[in-house]
Amino acid sequence: MVGPARKREAVVHLEDKFQVSQRRACKSLAQPRSTQRYVCRQSGKDTVLAGELRRFSTKHPRAGYRMAHKHLRREGGKANLKRVQRLWRQEGLRVPRKQHKKRRLGSTEAGGQRQRATRINEVWCYDFVFDQTEDGRRLKWLPICDEFTRENVALEVERRMEAADVVRVLEAAVAARGCAPKYIRSDNGPEFVAKAVREWIEAKGFETLYIKPGSPWQNAYSESFNSRMRDELLNVESFGSLLEAKVLGKAWRETYNHQRLHSSLGYQTPAEFAQLCRQASCAPLRQPEGIAEPRNEDKANTSNREPNQETKLPAHLGFS
């Protein structure tokens, strides 16, 4: 069905193409002449709102109009959802829809469908994400998430990570949270099934949940976070060095925990939802920092540095 606006364009096209009068063109297309001559009296009414939507889309390229509407409401805007949707489409800001195949419930007891988190710090999950710097050298990211609050508990990046590095990051995350989880879910990667990691986890008093090999959907919360991280950070930023990746990763983690709204949390941020959980359970919990101690070789490099030598951060990051 063609709307009045498209019919107006068609009438103008007929007038120019066939040199006919407006009356005859409107009659041919069943367009009332009053509708054809109508002039909107509030043509600039949506200019400000459309500009805000464009800025939001630039800042959050993977967000849709529903998320934009929630952000506008939080900032004091009064536009309703239908108006935001109309302007979103007019500005061409629609996000391409992805089609996901549905899978049946897995049979393993370690999958996220069966062993669900019911409270904060009950189930953590982690998995590796790979990227590279501009010189082609590999970056290996290790994000750790709380499945109940969707918080990013820790986010570490190195050129390489082994079992000792996994233990180092886990130890820093547990110390920052003030407690260990009851379970931690992962795939069967060599770094996660290593003896050193399993012994450390056992010593801390929590258990591992290894998903079935070849079944990444059983670690759904980690896969979802990794997808958002790739969409909003790795596919957007070009890392010139490992240091730059660490700085930008820390900034993105802060945004993710404290600014990014989650529809599954009732359009709250993970930090806000975690605060509600803390108030409900009265459980002592510090806000996680998610920063691990430096690697041994990093410590050696730091100790060899001159006392007055300062670390120079990239100028384009806004540091001076």
Contact assessment for residue 245 and residue 139, using Cβ atoms and an 8 Å cutoff: yes
pLDDT single digits (tens) 280-301: 774 444 444 444 555 655 555 5
Q: Where are the alpha helices (DSSP H) in 77-189?
A: 81-90, 163-177
Kind plus residue range of the DSSP H or E element containing 158: strand 152-158
- Residue 233's Cα: distance from chain center in Å? 8
User: Span 242-260, mean pLDDT?
Assistant: 94
pLDDT single digits (tens) 153-190: 999 999 999 999 999 999 999 999 888 999 999 999 99
User: Span 141-154, mean pLDDT?
Assistant: 94
Contacts of 127 (CB under 8 A, 6+ apart): 143, 186, 187, 189, 219, 222, 223, 226
Report the C-alpha gap between 22 and 58 in whole angstroms: 41
Report the C-alpha gap between 52 and 163 in whole angstroms: 46
What is the gyration radius of the CA atoms in the chain, in angstroms?
26
Question: Taking the model in full, what pTM does it have?
Answer: 0.63
pLDDT averaged over the chain?
82
Confidence (pLDDT) at 306 = 47
Report the C-alpha gap between 167 and 292 in whole angstroms: 10
Residue 318, amino acid? G
pLDDT single digits (tens) 13-24: 999 999 999 999
Say which range, 144-153, 157-166, 237-246, 273-282, has the weakest mean pLDDT: 273-282
pLDDT higher at 148 or 62: 148
Band (6; pLDDT cuts 50, 70, 90): confident
Say which range, 75-79, 99-103, 255-259, has the weakest mean pLDDT: 99-103
Confidence (pLDDT) at 94 = 72
Per DSSP, the residues of 200-225 read HHHHHT-EEEEPPTT-GGGGHHHHHH
